[in-house]
Chains A and B, each alone.
Chain A
Amino acid sequence: MSLHLDATPAHGPTGAARQAPPPRPQRSVRHRLTWLDIKGSPYLYVAPFFIIFAAFMLYPLIYTAYVSTRNWTLGAPDSTPAGLANFRELWHDSQFWTAVGNTFGIFVISTVPQLLLALFLANLLNRAIRGRVFFRIGMVVPIVTSTAVIGLVFSQLFSKDFGFINYLLQGIGVHHIDWKSTKWSSWIAVATMVNWRWTGYNALIYLAAMQTIPKDIYESAALDGARPSTQFWRITLPMLRPTIIFTVIMSTIGGLQLFGEPALFGSGSHYLQGGSLHQFQTVTMYLLQEMFERSRLGYAGAIAWVLFLMILVTSLLNFLVIRRINSDK
């Protein structure tokens, strides 16, 4: 060391390197390892997702498309080509269209009141109140419960002779309603379960967005004499538009896949049937019925793809609306 310093003091380490070159191959290996680490490890880290995605989402997606063009019975060793026959049959299948109507009907009467109520509650929660954490926790507690539990508890609450809801209605003179028996009453019961579970959650999402609105906007509006209701309609609501659309999209995706609540509401051995006249059978319930009760895999595959397209188109429409609104600003 001292020798190097004496010989080429001005060059320092460079001189040292020149005089006694370090073990080059070793350094190169370490260099190459570092290079491999930096270039390669990102792929290694994202790989688990893509392996799971390819095996359990993408492959089934494509395979379902293939299955939907076959005549295939569960348990049968072979399938025969069917072309588009499954889709053609679906087009003329009144039970399928009933299920589509039920799904969209329940979706509308669960989403619209739910989001309005959530907006209203968020507006209340946004005021200067005591015990805010307490109220917030209490309102999102329903998301802890599973659809299975909700289905069981609510089918008791909505039971014809001994249910709490009919007991309350009796108080105002309404005779016992058989909630499961007609279209509208069963839709209302199922929508109530959905609303109960998600209203508080959506209220919290709206609350989060409301708290990002700068207070001075309200203050100057108040100075200009705008009343609280005017402030809500003219300031709060327009500022919440992106959030509202986000919740609409989430409700769309969840609502069109609705399964657990209606399935457990009509509990019993024919729980996939959705009532004697399929009055509350959703598309997913019909899909499972074709798959397991009637063992028609090809036909069930066609239902699955149509459902997927329905969700895709509805989400795409929502996405275009968002883009439109963002570019407006």
Chain B
Amino acid sequence: MATTYPPAHARQDRHEQRERRPARLRSASGRLWRTSPLTYITLVAALLLSVFPLYVMIVGATESNDAIFKMPPSLVPGGRLTHNLQAVFSNVDANVAKGLLNSIIISSSVTVSVVFFSSLAGFAFAKLHFRGKNALLLVILGSMMIPVQIGLIPLFLMMVKLGWENHLAAVIVPALVNGFGVFLMRQYASQAVPDELIEAARIDGSNTWGIYWHVVLPALRPAAAVLGIFTFMQTWNDFLWPLVALQDPENPTVLLSLRNLGNGYYQDYAQVFAGTAVATVPLLIVFILLGRQIIGGIMEGALKA
């Protein structure tokens, strides 16, 4: 194995062995791993339920308002998607285009900052020695328990005083780094970066920053990707604090702008659905493209907790 690559027939042999073993076990353990059609039916049903509301949203975005208020409800897409999208983007009350741009700016800058500062602090906690490390780590864990709501009033007053009310800074700056990110990176760094690697870099004359940049950061890339995806989704979907901090309807996030689509004398639900689709589809695409990593991230995170 170590010296030469095994010949084709040997590989096939091993492959067969691998196939045969579970089969033997299966016969020994009865119906342990047998999958009945009922399993598939239940799983497909669960899958349909979890996708259904999203499907309703997309169908709604393609209908006329009258078609939405129809019994039985239509489940086939209509032909008015472009019309509805035009209505959404030309709605003067909602400022959806501005909201979309703001959400992209906020989510991207928060994501870059969270990944950078979390990996830096996570590296320090996992691999560097300094006094008070454990106490500081406890503070980080404790910070994860503080709900957003409790700081709402002072935070709002602070933003008024700083003149950041209705500015994106009010949403970006408090989110620049968080305890969850630091803790996640610390957990990953302590097992993904061997101490010997850091010692070797030091002997080669690297300073601490050089070690972070050239050794640690590349090793942290998988965890950084997961943290980045989650941070982006969370920031994009954050509702409570932007609602308080960005009260000016001229400068909303995309989710805040949705609320103003439905306001008014005439409730155009087709427009509301098209707006929610505009706010959701970008994330949906990212999710489907990076689905495997996200799944892996959730499952790995669960085991480390």
> How many angstroms between the C-alpha atoms of A131 and B47 in the bound complex?
12
Say whether A223 contacts B56, CB under 8 Å. Answer: no
Give every chain A residue within 8 A of B305 (Cβ-Cβ).
246
Within 8 Å of chain A (Cβ to Cβ): is B179? yes
Say whether A39 contacts B291, CB under 8 Å. Answer: no
Say whether B149 contacts A153, CB under 8 Å. Answer: no
> How many angstroms between the C-alpha atoms of A218 and B29 in the bound complex?
8
Which B72-108 residues sit within 8 Å CB-CB of chain A? 72-73
> How many angstroms between the C-alpha atoms of A121 and B42 in the bound complex?
8
Within 8 Å of chain A (Cβ to Cβ): is B154? yes
> How many angstroms between the C-alpha atoms of A175 and B295 in the bound complex?
41
Which B206-230 residues sit within 8 Å CB-CB of chain A? 207-209, 212
Say whether A125 contacts B208, CB under 8 Å. Answer: no
Which B266-286 residues sit within 8 Å CB-CB of chain A? 269, 272-273, 276, 279-280, 283-284
> How many angstroms between the C-alpha atoms of A199 and B45 in the bound complex?
14
Within 8 Å of chain A (Cβ to Cβ): is B138? no
What is the distance, in angstroms, from A315's C-beta to the closest C-beta of chain B? Answer: 6
> How many angstroms between the C-alpha atoms of A102 and B240 in the bound complex?
19
Give every chain A residue within 8 A of B292 (Cβ-Cβ).
133, 137
Q: Determine chain A's interface SS by DSSP, over half rule.
A: helix
What is the distance, in angstroms, from A239's C-beta to the closest C-beta of chain B? Answer: 13
B281's closest neighbor in chain A, by CB? A144
Say whether A140 contacts B147, CB under 8 Å. Answer: no
Interface string of B229-260 (1 = CB under 8 A from A): 00001001111100010000000000100110
| Listed stretches A42-50, A85-93, A181-189; interface member | A42-50
A-B CB contacts (within 8 Å), total count:
283
The count of residues in chain A whose C-beta lies closer than 8 Å to any C-beta of chain B is 97
> How many angstroms between the C-alpha atoms of A145 and B268 in the bound complex?
21
> How many angstroms between the C-alpha atoms of A256 and B153 in the bound complex?
19
Say whether B143 contacts A125, CB under 8 Å. Answer: no
Say whether A164 contacts B28, CB under 8 Å. Answer: no
What is the distance, in angstroms, from A246's C-beta to the closest C-beta of chain B? Answer: 5
Give every chain A residue within 8 A of B244 (Cβ-Cβ).
288, 292
Which B29-60 residues sit within 8 Å CB-CB of chain A? 29-35, 39-40, 42-43, 46-47, 49-51, 53-54, 56-57, 60
Give every chain A residue within 8 A of B57 (Cβ-Cβ).
149, 153
What is the distance, in angstroms, from A141's C-beta to the closest C-beta of chain B? Answer: 6
Give every chain B residue within 8 A of A137 (Cβ-Cβ).
287-288, 291-292, 294-295
> How many angstroms between the C-alpha atoms of A121 and B39 in the bound complex?
9
Contact of B121 among A46, A208, A253 (CB under 8 A): A46
Within 8 Å of chain B (Cβ to Cβ): is A329? no
- Select the residue from A146, A200, A264 with max chain B CB neighbours within 10 A: A146
CB within 8 Å for A34 and B287 given contacts A61-B151, A162-B73:
no
Within 8 Å of chain B (Cβ to Cβ): is A139? yes
Contact of A208 among B176, B178, B272, B299 (CB under 8 A): B299
Say whether A212 contacts B153, CB under 8 Å. Answer: no
Give every chain A residue within 8 A of B176 (Cβ-Cβ).
48, 52
B75's closest neighbor in chain A, by CB? A164
> How many angstroms between the C-alpha atoms of A50 and B182 in the bound complex?
11
Give every chain B residue within 8 A of A207 (Cβ-Cβ).
299
Say whether B47 contacts A138, CB under 8 Å. Answer: yes
B31's closest neighbor in chain A, by CB? A228
Give every chain A residue within 8 A of B118 (Cβ-Cβ).
49
Say whether B129 contacts A56, CB under 8 Å. Answer: no
> How many angstroms between the C-alpha atoms of A292 and B39 in the bound complex?
50
Say whether B239 contacts A147, CB under 8 Å. Answer: yes
Within 8 Å of chain A (Cβ to Cβ): is B112? no
Say whether B255 contacts A129, CB under 8 Å. Answer: no
What is the distance, in angstroms, from A320's C-beta to the closest C-beta of chain B? Answer: 15
What is the distance, in angstroms, from A251's C-beta to the closest C-beta of chain B? Answer: 14
Within 8 Å of chain B (Cβ to Cβ): is A109? no
Say whether B40 contacts A257, CB under 8 Å. Answer: no
> How many angstroms between the C-alpha atoms of A64 and B153 in the bound complex?
7
* A-B interface, 4 closest residue pairs, ranked by CB to CB distance from nearest: A60-B151, A146-B237, A222-B29, A208-B299
- Which A residues are closer than 8 A to B by beta carbons? 34, 37-39, 41-43, 45-46, 48-50, 52-53, 55-57, 59-61, 63-64, 67, 121, 124-125, 127-129, 133, 135-150, 152-154, 156-157, 161-164, 167, 196, 199-201, 204-205, 207-209, 212, 218-219, 222-223, 228, 231, 243, 246, 253, 256-257, 259-260, 264, 267, 269, 284, 287-288, 291-292, 297, 300-301, 304-305, 307-308, 311-312, 315
- Other A-B contacts than A138-B47, A223-B29, A267-B259, 5 sampled, CB-CB below 8 A, are A52-B173, A125-B43, A196-B50, A284-B240, A308-B146
Could you list some 29 contacts between A and B, CB below 8 A?
A: A42-B130, A42-B208, A45-B123, A46-B121, A52-B174, A57-B146, A60-B155, A124-B39, A133-B295, A135-B47, A137-B287, A139-B50, A141-B284, A143-B233, A144-B287, A146-B239, A153-B56, A156-B56, A156-B60, A162-B69, A204-B299, A253-B147, A259-B240, A288-B244, A292-B244, A304-B149, A307-B149, A311-B145, A315-B145
